[in-house]
Structure 1
Amino acid sequence: MTTTAVGVAAKIKLAVNIGNTLEATGGETAWGNPMITQDLVNKYKSLGFDAIRLPCSWDQYADKTTAKISATWLDRVKVVVQYCINADLYVVLNIHWDGGWLENHVDDASKDAVAAKQKAFWEQIATHLRDFDERLIFASANEPAADKATQMNALNAYHQTFVNAVRATGGKNAYRVLVVQAPSTNTEYAVSLWTNMPTDTAANRLMFEIHYYAPSQLTVITTDQSWGKMFYYWGKNNHSTIEPDRNATWGEEDYVDQQMQAMKTHFVDKGIPVIMGEFGCWRKTTPLDLVKHNASVTYWNKYVAQQALANGLMPFLWDTGSLIDRTTLAVKDQDILDALLTVAGKK
């Protein structure tokens, strides 16, 4: 447990989420993915990934009165963490959306009740997983929905509660690397709203987390919205003359450069490693100019990962089964995989 957060960060060049699985409402397979196996984890390792993020749900497995988490679920998560350790991967375990009990209640009115649950859950999680070495990293939350300065008091309280709860369980947890999330894990709010990291009894063991999906018209939405249409084409050489109204109008290379540089200036350069805990853009079938669209998607993933790495961030691809077939373990998108391996210096 001797490696600092900066030291751990130096060992993670490319990472991936096993999404829509342990955090799935209704159980691990409820959203269509099979249970996580050692073979799946080994596959990620063999492809060149250094770490796995495990989005995880807890509230659905907990007693609503006592906040006691099911021993069966704690054991299942421990098994999956062990798969990652067996493969010599770093593993980031969080409390994900989890019904929104924290994520959607970042406010002073909810603060005491949410902090109490945060404390109860992390005491149990940390105690159950206390004996894993420094390759296991805990993350306070997922995307705490905060976009105003008035919400920062509550968010800071939730993160401080997390740090205190984990440290109090002792053993290896006294030194474990811990991750706290920017308001809404948004790069702009990380600059405009974040003021300070939690206090910590361990020196140099904290990381900061942002997610990156800009522009959301390309990466997130799957139907046109009242506030904007889907983008299909992104990047300096990938705009389409067939569907010019689907070309990105913001969030292209200059914006990526600006946001990643801001994370370096405000955090990395101050000795606070930054996890880009989620990023990703996947292919659509509806574009009329599929060649340009597919080039755009590959390029977005490559460029965002490249600029993250250039500024000292750790990129964790958000994947729910589009990169690797979770059953057959076949690579489903070799172009995106090759692009990521190339910028991470692994190909």
Structure 2
Amino acid sequence: MKHIRNYLTLFFAFLAGTAMFASCSDDEEGGFSGETKISATELAFAKSGGTQTLSIASGTEPQVTSNQDWCNVAFVNVTQRGTYTYDITAEANTETEDRTATLSVTAGSFSASVQVTQTAGDGLIVAQNSYEMPSAGGPLEVTLTTNGDYSYTINDSWITEAEVNKARAMTEYTLHFTVSANHGAERTGTITFTLNDLTETVSIVQEAGQGGQGVSGETPYEIAASLGLGWNLGNQLDAHNNGVADETAWGNQPTTQALFDQLAASGITSVRIPVTWLGHVGEAPDYTIEADYLNRVAEVVGYAENAGLNAIINIHHDGADSQYWLNIKNAAADETVNEAVKAQLKAMWTQIAKRFRDKGNFLVFEAMNEIHDGGWGWGDNRTDGGKQYAVLNEWNQVFVDAVRATGGNNTERYLGVPGYVTNIDLTVENFVLPTDAVQNRLMVAVHFYDPNEFVLEATASEWGHTGDPAKKATWGDEDNVRTQFGKMKSAFIDKGIPAYIGEMGCVHRNDARAESFRLYYLEYVCKAAKDYGLPPFYWDNGSSGSGAETSGLFNHATGEMLNNAEEVIDVMKRGIFTEDESYTLQSVYDGAPQ
């Protein structure tokens, strides 16, 4: 009986235990009940990797495996309710492509897959590292493949425009840039793409174009085309104080290579470098130029040469208002004075020419600047029977003879010879072209600042046929431009004699409407200059203000653009370089501000 009681006790205990398990299985808080379930069918990891949790509710212990070594599975625990937990760990992705792994999950008859994706490591690939562009410029497409938030830098302003695309996975992008026309020597620019520590550089080599380093041609129009669009380094080497030339005397800091590089990058093709020599010249009869000063002039000429620009140097304020040694008023009244001036002129140009005689034809010598007796063309020259005009013609001949005698490249160098006060009317009426040993190498130099009320003084704020008569000068509209340039064309260009406008421009305004007329004026003058064969040189004195005498486009030391310089240069380039037949002086006229 004792054994039977023991068996019965065990039997009832078993029944009780069975009842307890069933009750627990039917309870939400109890063990597993129903079909196997997994917490996710997709897992995504960043390129840095990491660990995520995968949970599986199952009555049977699951088996979880990965088909990729970089994706690891580790069992963590199981709850009494039948939930199995696994750590899924992805290693850092150092590849440049996204990658995937598959987790296989089995539990009894149940099976499922979990897709694991991971973004790539930093990727930055350009399809082509160098491009060649024609001088005319145009669109440039750069194909870039990346998977990050990249950036780019362009080292020159003649390469522009593109949108920064934001990449996610490794994706190919076509970026659209624009290369501006090259009017100078061959040039190279770069676009550098950056993604974190990765860089890719694309180089763009653009062939040389019209204008730029090398004055050339046998006809006035060919020579004008080689000069292109000019610019003056004003109030710099021509500055002086108390009779001594000093580069910083008029507010500008010493100029640098950076400026000339920026000039070339902006589309300027020629520079005029006015030079005042006062205080740096010895006594008669040698009139020796100080070596340090001549070296500084040579250094600045070198800046132009390095940047691929044509350059003009001259003797500038030594004849200002007949106050200094180039005194045309006294020379016209006294032949002894005239002979002394000619002796010094010959001595100085002999020295200057010898220093530069090995330089190529990118360099032009200009005899003098705005020679007059203090009356700006309305002084004694009107009543002395033409004596001053005759003296200036003599001086120009002395200049030509002195330069040619130095040999080397100076035997055929292009030379600029000015008319009286560089006034168009007085030049047309009184200028005599010097005799020369070579043909078509002398260029007549004039200036154009009509009307001065609008261009220089800013007392008039509007100009041209659409300007308000109450806000503009009473003279000097578009017809004056055509008339004056037409005189130069008839007197010189049509006769095969080249000429150029050594100074022109218009001061900056701080009023949007007035500035629109300034832009119109500059485009009209430049287009007219192109049509009449007269390459223009904009006067830049480095001033960043607005109003009278504020014609700065560039900081002469750093090359930084001032005010709306880019806009100003663009309208002048349009006038000089546009070859589209639909672009005419009339079309510019029709586009005047309203």
Common topology (TM > 0.5): yes
Task: Name stretches of at least 5 consecutive residues in structure 1 with no aligned partner.
Answer: 223-229
Query: Given that residues 319 and 371 in structure 2 are in contact (C-alpha distance below 8 angstroms), is that contact kept between their aligned partners in structure 1?
Result: no
Instruction: Please say if 1:235 is aligned against 2:464.
Output: yes
**Aligned counterparts, 1:85-96, within 5 A:** 85-96=305-316
Which stretch has the larger CA shift, 248-257 or 97-106?
97-106
- Structure 1 partner of 2:252: 33
**Aligned counterparts, 1:1-347, within 5 A:** 3-4=216-217, 6=219, 7-25=222-240, 26-65=245-284, 66-98=286-318, 100=320, 101=324, 104-106=327-329, 107-108=331-332, 109=334, 110-145=337-372, 147-148=381-382, 149-194=386-431, 196-221=432-457, 230-239=459-468, 244=470, 246-284=471-509, 290-321=511-542, 322-332=552-562, 333=564, 334-345=566-577
Query: Given that residues 417 and 444 in structure 2 are in contact (C-alpha distance below 8 angstroms), is that contact kept between their aligned partners in structure 1?
Result: yes
Cα distance in 1 between the residues matched to 2:218 and 2:350: 21
**Deviation for aligned residue 1:103:** 5.1
> What does the per-residue CA deviation read over 1:227-253, in whole Å, with 9 as the maximum and x for residues that have no partner?
xxx32221122326xxx2x32210110
Query: Given that residues 103 and 142 in structure 1 are in contact (C-alpha distance below 8 angstroms), is that contact kept between their aligned partners in structure 2?
Result: no
Paired amino acid for 1:238: G
Paired amino acid for 1:255: N
Higher relative contact order (CA 8 A, sep 6+): 1
Cα distance in 1 between the residues matched to 2:354 and 2:345: 14
Query: Given that residues 319 and 369 in structure 2 are in contact (C-alpha distance below 8 angstroms), is that contact kept between their aligned partners in structure 1?
Result: no
Query: Given that residues 54 and 93 in structure 1 are in contact (C-alpha distance below 8 angstroms), is that contact kept between their aligned partners in structure 2?
Result: yes
Cα distance in 2 between the residues matched to 1:2 and 1:311: 18
Flag the structure with higher strand content.
2
**Deviation for aligned residue 1:95:** 0.5
Query: Given that residues 211 and 276 in structure 1 are in contact (C-alpha distance below 8 angstroms), is that contact kept between their aligned partners in structure 2?
Result: yes
**Deviation for aligned residue 1:171:** 1.1
Cα distance in 2 between the residues matched to 1:57 and 1:34: 16
> What does the per-residue CA deviation read over 1:289-344, in whole Å, with 9 as the maximum and x for residues that have no partner?
x3332122222211111111110001100011211123442322233112112112
- Report the CA distance shift for 1:267/1:102 in structure 2 as closer, same or farther (over 3 A): farther
Flag the structure with higher helix content.
1
- Report the CA distance shift for 1:339/1:103 in structure 2 as closer, same or farther (over 3 A): farther
Which stretch has the larger CA shift, 313-322 or 104-113?
104-113
Q: Which structure has the bigger radius of gyration? A: 2
Paired amino acid for 1:68: T
**Deviation for aligned residue 1:2:** 9.8
TM-score by length of 1: 0.90
- Report the CA distance shift for 1:291/1:237 in structure 2 as closer, same or farther (over 3 A): farther
TM-score by length of 2: 0.53
Which stretch has the larger CA shift, 134-143 or 100-109?
100-109
**Deviation for aligned residue 1:126:** 0.4
- Report the CA distance shift for 1:78/1:328 in structure 2 as closer, same or farther (over 3 A): closer
Cα distance in 2 between the residues matched to 1:163 and 1:327: 33
Cα distance in 2 between the residues matched to 1:151 and 1:231: 33
Cα RMSD, aligned residues only = 2.0
> What does the per-residue CA deviation read over 1:48-92, in whole Å, with 9 as the maximum and x for residues that have no partner?
111000000113211134411001111111111111111221101
Paired amino acid for 1:193: N
- Report the CA distance shift for 1:126/1:327 in structure 2 as closer, same or farther (over 3 A): closer
- Report the CA distance shift for 1:92/1:261 in structure 2 as closer, same or farther (over 3 A): same
Counterpart secondary structure, 2:239: coil
Cα distance in 2 between the residues matched to 1:180 and 1:3: 17
Query: Given that residues 111 and 157 in structure 1 are in contact (C-alpha distance below 8 angstroms), is that contact kept between their aligned partners in structure 2?
Result: no
Paired amino acid for 2:273: L
> What does the per-residue CA deviation read over 1:78-118, in whole Å, with 9 as the maximum and x for residues that have no partner?
11111111122110111001263365425422321211111
Cα distance in 2 between the residues matched to 1:4 and 1:346: 20
Counterpart secondary structure, 1:60: coil
Cα distance in 2 between the residues matched to 1:251 and 1:88: 35
Query: Given that residues 440 and 498 in structure 2 are in contact (C-alpha distance below 8 angstroms), is that contact kept between their aligned partners in structure 1?
Result: no
Cα distance in 1 between the residues matched to 2:305 and 2:429: 37
Query: Given that residues 231 and 272 in structure 2 are in contact (C-alpha distance below 8 angstroms), is that contact kept between their aligned partners in structure 1?
Result: yes
Cα distance in 2 between the residues matched to 1:165 and 1:210: 22
Cα distance in 2 between the residues matched to 1:300 and 1:50: 21
Query: Given that residues 397 and 434 in structure 2 are in contact (C-alpha distance below 8 angstroms), is that contact kept between their aligned partners in structure 1?
Result: yes
Query: Given that residues 230 and 536 in structure 2 are in contact (C-alpha distance below 8 angstroms), is that contact kept between their aligned partners in structure 1?
Result: yes
Paired amino acid for 1:312: G
Task: Name stretches of at least 5 consecutive residues in structure 2 with no aligned partner.
Answer: 1-213, 543-551, 580-594
Cα distance in 2 between the residues matched to 1:335 and 1:248: 24
Cα distance in 1 between the residues matched to 2:493 and 2:263: 27
> What does the per-residue CA deviation read over 1:22-56, in whole Å, with 9 as the maximum and x for residues that have no partner?
11114111211121211111110111111000000
Matched residues, number: 331
Cα distance in 1 between the residues matched to 2:306 and 2:515: 36
Counterpart secondary structure, 1:143: coil
**Deviation for aligned residue 1:269:** 1.1
**Deviation for aligned residue 1:183:** 1.0
